[in-house]
Amino acid sequence: MGTVDLITEHARRLPESVRREILNFVEFLFKKYSTPLTRLATPATRQAGLHAGCAVMAADFDAPLSDDFWLGANPSSA
């Protein structure tokens, strides 16, 4: 007896609500394993401006950094 026959035989003995659950699971597995890999790798379309105003740039953003920053000096240990 094949796998499909065994599944069918066991499912016949279960209540209708459980058979519906089995069907939902089989459909889930079908969708999961029948989706082409190229479709999974395609990035979603991006939409600009969704978080406008959430980030603020400091007024001194363009100011030169101190030598301590570039040399790796830790001001808290001094």
Confirm whether 78 is domain-assigned: no
**Number of separate domains in the chain:** 1
Confirm whether 31 is domain-assigned: yes
Q: What is the DSSP string of 21-56?
A: HHHHHHHHHHHHHHS-HHHHHSPPPP-TTTTTTS--
Confirm whether 20 is domain-assigned: yes
Mean pLDDT by 10 residues, the chain (78 residues): 91 94 94 73 80 89 89 69
Confirm whether 4 is domain-assigned: yes
Domain that holds residue 15: 1-41
Confirm whether 68 is domain-assigned: no
- Of 7, 54, 62, the closest CA to residue 29 belongs to 7
Task: Give the pLDDT of residue 77.
Answer: 57
Confirm whether 6 is domain-assigned: yes
pTM higher than 0.85: no
Task: Give the pLDDT of residue 69.
Answer: 86
Confirm whether 18 is domain-assigned: yes
Confirm whether 74 is domain-assigned: no
